[in-house]
Amino acid sequence: MTQNPVSEPSWGSQFRLVASEKWKAKSAAMGQPVTDALVEYAQPAPGMRVLDVASGTGEPAISLASRVGTDGHVTALDVSTDLLEIAEKRARDRGLKNVTTRVADAHSLPFPDGSFDLATSRFGVMFFRDAEVALRELWRVLRPDARACFLAWGPFDQPYWQSMMGVVHRHIGGPLLQPDGPNPFRFAEPGSLSKVIRAAGFPDVTEQTKTLPWTWPGPAEEVWEQAQAVAVPFRPMLERVPADQWPQIHAEVHEAVARYSDGEKIEFGATVVLASGRK
């Protein structure tokens, strides 16, 4: 495995890794409908060679590997060695031998032209430093008529975000996100992701907004703990919270999240953007 390139923010930070391990089963359950939606949208076929960019702990790479079969292959690419080690273990645990990982930056893909039949990225494209440059790289490594398929967050104004990060922001004010930092909602505006895909050279572009299940199989306290650990873009805001305000914030978050609970699970729902470009 190659050296981890310099990148910011630290997607493989230690407490994010701990959270990934602690909550891996429940996080996977919450994210599976979104993963399934992207896989269905991408339409992988047996024998395809697929590149999954910003793969993190392995989705949708692992789900795609099951679809392309033993004659196909999936490369899971990310800037974080640590997260990809989790992805490798998950693939091994499922007996998948057609998944490999690669540490690399999406803006400079280490593959020859025309290497892949399909490219995917789940909750990754919003965080590319220069999305047009990264998408031009994807265009380069795709074969003719191949597709690049993306899933991005819709607006901040939806239950999952408002019930947790929205509560914090109402308490302390200031910027929700750093002006020059990662922005999960960068492509929430309809058509904004399509515009970048076209600018990167893809002539055939489609986009849709969908609301999908986004369900935490446990209590409010758990999902709030998990969200604080993995929500890298909101870390500067969380670090501004004075210690004496945390008890009140925790109480209000638990109350807000509990509104979506049936006593066993929390049904937030997730509004997301699905977009693709065909070479």
In tens, the pLDDT along 233-261 reads: 999 999 999 999 999 999 999 999 999 99
Check which CATH number belongs to the domain holding 84 and give it: 3.40.50.150
Total domains, the chain: 1
Distance CA 273, CA 122 (A): 10
Work out the widest C-alpha separation in the chain, in whole angstroms.
58
The yes-or-no verdict on residue 1 having pLDDT over 70 is no
What is the tens place of the pLDDT at every residue in 64-114? 999 999 999 999 999 999 889 989 999 999 999 999 999 999 999 999 999
SS3 of residue 87 by DSSP: helix
3-state secondary structure of 81: helix
In-domain check, residue 84: yes
The domain in which residue 182 lies consists of 14-278
4-50: pLDDT as tens digits: 333 344 444 444 555 556 777 888 899 999 999 999 999 999 999 99
- Give the Å distances, CA to CA, from 262 to 26, 176, 219, 251, 265: 16, 29, 10, 18, 6
Give the helix ranges, DSSP H, for the chain.
Answer: 14-22, 24-42, 61-68, 81-93, 131-141, 159-162, 165-172, 192-199, 220-230, 235-239, 246-258
